Amino acid sequence: MNRSFAIGAGVVAVIAAIALYLSAFTVSMTQQAIVLQFGDPRAVVTEPGLHWKLPVVQNVIYIDKRILNLNAPPEEIIAKDRKRLVVDAFARYRIADALRFYQAVGDPRNADNRLRPNFVSSLRNVLGDHTLEELVRDNRAGLMKKIQTAFDEATQQFGVEVVDVRIRRADLPEQNSQAIFQRMQTEREREAAEIRAQGNEEAQRIRSRADREVTVLIAEADRDGQIARGEGDARRSEIYANAYSKDPEFFAFYRSMQAYRESMKGDNTTMVVTPDSEFFRYFGNESGRR
């Protein structure tokens, strides 16, 4: 009897332990929990720690309290100015109302699939009312704020609060980009040809001006040289005349010596003159008198 009682007590203890184990659940600081009874929500637990539920008949679904990312594939959008854009954007959100989120979405793993269409719709609606220039240059931050507001309004039914929206990239479609690139390349080549033509024209003008200036400088230098040579010759003649007037005999002797030196250069000199020629007047008589 004691043995049967011990066995029964042991079984009861095991059952109680299992029941205790199945009744307890913990919630971390990054989570919130919904207690379900046969799929029907019974309680929402937002405080971290150890909590209790009915074993077997109740189960717990955990929902993240942290800020989550929602990525959308690049979408082609038509802007207000009829420009086609490929926009790559993402959003950050957090689940503010766990019960509403569960009722609207069900399994948390389906959250992105349920929220992404609303995100894309908000992108299209906002960017469709603005031009490419506003998105790329003028008002990008303002447009991201508008998309955040529109997306937040669309996700209120899911118990979600949108924290931020960012546009990673906004480009023209590939075919448009290639066409624009080709047009820009053609324009730059045309501008380069015009600049080269203007440069060649200016270079030719500079060369012509330089050639003209060189011609003028050479002509002026030749003129000045001729004037200087003329003045030198005149001065030389004047010196010779003054020297000759002071001592005509010495001047005649000096000129004869220069003539002898110039005429008798070289190793083979032949002269055919008469002995009494005026050219040899100083050969026999240094006074030059005959």
pLDDT of residue 278: 63
Q: What is the pLDDT of residues 211-235, one digit of tens each?
A: 888 888 888 888 888 888 888 888 8
The b-or-e profile of 123-142 (16+ CB within 10 A means b, else e) is bbebbeebbbebbbeeeeee
Residue-level pLDDT at 181? 65
pTM for the model stands at 0.54
Output the pLDDT for position 36: 85
Distance of CA 216 to CAs 196, 202, 209, 223, 227, Å?
A: 30, 21, 10, 10, 16
Place of tokens 């624009």: 180
Q: In the prediction, which pLDDT does 98 show?
A: 87
Q: What pLDDT sits at residue 223? A: 87
Q: What pLDDT shows up at residue 177?
A: 54
pLDDT for the residue 50: 84
Both tokens of 162, joined, read 């949108």
Tell which phi-psi region holds residue 236, choosing left (phi > 0), alpha (psi between -120 and 50) or beta: alpha
pLDDT of 283: 59
Query: Which pLDDT value is given to residue 290?
Result: 47
| Residue ranges for the chain with pLDDT beneath 70 | 1-12, 14-16, 21, 173-181, 247, 249, 259-290
